[in-house]
C-alpha cells in the first residue's frame, strides 16, 4: 500500500471508531461502558438496544485492532 492509501485508511478507521463509540453510548444511554467495558452493556434491559450496543462494540474492537496493526 502506498503512504496515501494508508493515511486514507487510517482516516476512515478513525471515522468508524468515532461512529461506533457514539452508537454504543446512544444504545447504552451513558458513557460508563468506556471505563467498564463490555460488562456495562450486559445490563441494558431492552434486547434491541443491547444487541445494537453489542454490535457497535464489536465493530469498535475490530477497528481498534486494525488501527493497531497499521501502526
Residue 40 pLDDT? 84
Work out the number of other CB atoms within 10 angstroms of the CB of residue 46: 11
What is the model's pLDDT at position 54? 94
Return the pLDDT at 20: 96
Distance set, CA 52 to CA 8, 10, 17, 57 (Å): 27, 24, 15, 8
pLDDT score for 64: 95
Tens of pLDDT, residue by residue, the chain (71 residues): 788 998 999 999 999 999 999 999 999 998 888 888 878 888 899 999 999 999 999 999 999 999 998 87
CA distance 28 to 53: 7
Helices 47-70 and 3-28, packing angle to 10 deg: 160
Cα gap 47→63, rounded to integer Å = 24
Per-residue confidence (pLDDT) for residue 37, from 0 to 100: 81
Amino acid at each position: 500500500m502506498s503512504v496515501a492509501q494508508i493515511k486514507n485508511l487510517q482516516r476512515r478507521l478513525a471515522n468508524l471508531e468515532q461512529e461506533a463509540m457514539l452508537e454504543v453510548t446512544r444504545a447504552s444511554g451513558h458513557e460508563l461502558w468506556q471505563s467498564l467495558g463490555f460488562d456495562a452493556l450486559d445490563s441494558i434491559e431492552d434486547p434491541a438496544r443491547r444487541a445494537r450496543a453489542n454490535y457497535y462494540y464489536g465493530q469498535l474492537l475490530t477497528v481498534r485492532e486494525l488501527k493497531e496493526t497499521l501502526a
